[in-house]
C-alpha cells in the first residue's frame, strides 16, 4: 500500500516541503510554515488511514480538504513572497499530481 503512487508522491512532496519551510523567515516559521507542514502531514495521515480501512471515503474526503488547505497555504506563501515563483510552481505541480491520484482513488470508492 505505501508503495502506491499517491504515497510515493506525497512522501516526495513532504521531502521537498520540510527543508523549504525550515528556511522561511523567522517571523513566519511558527505560523505559516507550521500550518503548511501540519496540513501536509495531516493529509498523509488521512490517506494512510484510508488505505488501512480499505479506501474508506470519509478519510479520502477529509484528505481532499487537507490538500485544498495545502494548496491555499502554498499560494499564500507565494503571494507573500516567501516562496519564489519557481518554488510555488514546483509545489503546486506536485499538489496537482497528488490531487489527481486522490481523485482517482475517490472515484473507485
pLDDT digits (tens, 9 = 90+) for 92-102: 999 999 999 99
Contact indicator for 54, 48 with CB cutoff of 8 Å: no
Statement: residue 55 has pLDDT above 90: no
Q: Which residue pairs from 15-18 have beta carbons closer than 8 angstroms and sit at least 24 positions apart in sequence?
A: 16/90, 16/91, 16/94, 17/91
Note the pTM of the prediction, 2 decimals: 0.94
| Domains, the chain, ordered by start | 5-107 (1.20.1440.60)
Contact indicator for 22, 53 with CB cutoff of 8 Å: no
How far apart are the C-alpha atoms of 45 and 47, rounded to whole Å? Answer: 6
Statement: residue 2 has pLDDT above 60: no
Statement: residue 23 has pLDDT above 70: yes
Per-residue pLDDT band for 30 (boundaries 50, 70, 90) equals confident
How far apart are the C-alpha atoms of 46 and 81, rounded to whole Å? Answer: 30
HEC assignment per residue over 15-82? HHHHHHHHCCCHHHHHHHHHHHHHHHHHHHHHHHHHHHCCCCHHHHHHHHHHHHHHHHHHHHHHHCCC
Amino acid at each position: 500500500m505505501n508503495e502506491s503512487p499517491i504515497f510515493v508522491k506525497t512522501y516526495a512532496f513532504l521531502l521537498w516541503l520540510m527543508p523549504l519551510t525550515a528556511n522561511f523567515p523567522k517571523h513566519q516559521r511558527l505560523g505559516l510554515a507550521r500550518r503548511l507542514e501540519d496540513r501536509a502531514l495531516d493529509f498523509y495521515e488521512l490517506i494512510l488511514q484510508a488505505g488501512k480501512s480499505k479506501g474508506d471515503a470519509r478519510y479520502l474526503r477529509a484528505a481532499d480538504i487537507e490538500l485544498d488547505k495545502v494548496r491555499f497555504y502554498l499560494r499564500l506563501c507565494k503571494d507573500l513572497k516567501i516562496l519564489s515563483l519557481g518554488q510555488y510552481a514546483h509545489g503546486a505541480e506536485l499538489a496537482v499530481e497528488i490531487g489527481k491520484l486522490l481523485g482517482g482513488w475517490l472515484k473507485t470508492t
